[in-house]
Chain A
Amino acid sequence: SELTQPPSVSVSPGQPARITCSGDLLSKQYGYWYKQKPGQAPVLVMYKDTERPSGIPERFSGSSSGTTVTLTISGVQAEDEADYYCQSVDSSDTYREVVFGGGTKLTVL
């Protein structure tokens, strides 16, 4: 199973940014989102489609529809420039496998 993300998204400061992640398994599994800045470890910014971990700014939100999950950053700030990865789980009675999307580079213009 695959998760597909746009390679890049560009947005001006203060504008909203929407990053999508599509894949068949998202119709029955949750999506998760990680932010990774250069030279740093990933950070969880959204779990179970819409849940925001403590410490993540309120401008980050998540949504899900059909086979697509979306991470929205309302009012993008310079510090939001990073790579963003979606993740889900492909599972059956006999296995569970973590799947990552290819990543989206968010550029703040």
Chain B
Amino acid sequence: EVQLVQSGAEVKKSGESLQISCKTSGYSFTSYWIGWVRQMPGKGLEWMGIIYPGDSKTRYSPSFQGQVTISADKSIRTAYLQWTSLKASDTAMYYCARDDSLGIGDDIWFDSWGQGTLVTVSS
């Protein structure tokens, strides 16, 4: 069974750094891209970026390029989303999700999702 288990809720202050994680199991970690999706309170889904754990190649949404860093550790089958200086506007639920396309063609779609990590940033 494919599983993505995210780290727990975080409460931080503006300017602090943060790394949240997404630990996977049940499939070949290095064969599938993993994406990150933001959902601000009461709002819709926003794609942040995606990583291929096989070689750590990443793609970012222009909206998030330079604002966050996506990484992965093959040895522990875990993907990460990192901020160096949080802002109050980063308050949101963050989801990791597996891209089922296997990188074939232009398609990307997310067949398995983590439970989400709520990040709250106070100013």
Contacts and interface: CB of A to CB of B under 8 A. Distances in A.
Contacts of A83: 44
Given A41-B113, A42-B110, A44-B110, A95 B59 contact: yes
Given A41-B95, A100-B47, A103-B44, A89 B108 contact: yes
A99 B115 CA distance: 21
Q: Name A's interface SS.
A: strand
B95 A99 contact: no
Interface residues of B, number: 23
Given A34-B45, A53-B111, A100-B44, A91 B106 contact: yes
Interface string B98-123: 00100000111111011110000000
A89 B35 contact: no
Contacts of A32: 109-110
A103 B111 contact: no
A44 B95 CA distance: 14
B66 interface: no
A47 B95 contact: no
Interface string A49-92: 00001000000000000000000000000000001010101010
Interface of B: 35, 37, 44-47, 50, 59, 61-62, 95, 97, 100, 106-111, 113-116
